[in-house]
Amino acid sequence: LGLRCIGYELLCESTATQGQRTVKAHGLGSWVSLRCGDAAEAKGLEDAAVVWINDAAWDPSPRNQLLKRLATQLRPGAAVISFSYAGGWPGSLKEALPMVETVSIPVSWNRATVATLHNRAPHTIREERDMQSGHSEL
């Protein structure tokens, strides 16, 4: 498809390292980069077209931290895919990252897990006001 993929993983010695070996073994280094680190602190989010968050087991605090960054830094129209929606996101995040669709997909831990697709909304009236005043309350 011609899209580069950058992945972040907190489990450096197991998941990230093994993933890096697999990428190298299959010559995918120009397309895939797996980094040991916290996705909530990732740089370059404004350039992402799709952000897939494997957040089924995340606590709400780090999930909301990343979602707040995505809501303010992604360009309008960028897609966010999450396993955690279930109507539980704070209101401002629902406004900035409205749900477009739900899909049932098989994953390693369940044959039919619901994932939600969200699109970064165009600037909302609230964001326009906040940008004019110089602060954001997402």
pLDDT by 10-residue block (mean), the chain, 138 residues: 80 87 92 88 86 86 88 90 76 85 88 89 63 56
* AA letter at 70: L
pLDDT digits (tens, 9 = 90+) for 68-85: 889 989 988 899 988 886
Residues in a beta bridge with 110: 107
pTM of structure: 0.75
14 SS3 class: helix
- Contact (Cβ atoms closer than 8 angstroms) between residue 124 and residue 94: no
* Among the listed residues 45, 60, 63, 27, the one whose alpha carbon sits nearest the alpha carbon of residue 120: 45
Continuous segment of H or E residues that includes residue 81: strand 79-82
Residue 34: beta bridge partners?
7
| Residue 41 Cα distances to 10, 58, 63, angstroms | 11, 15, 12
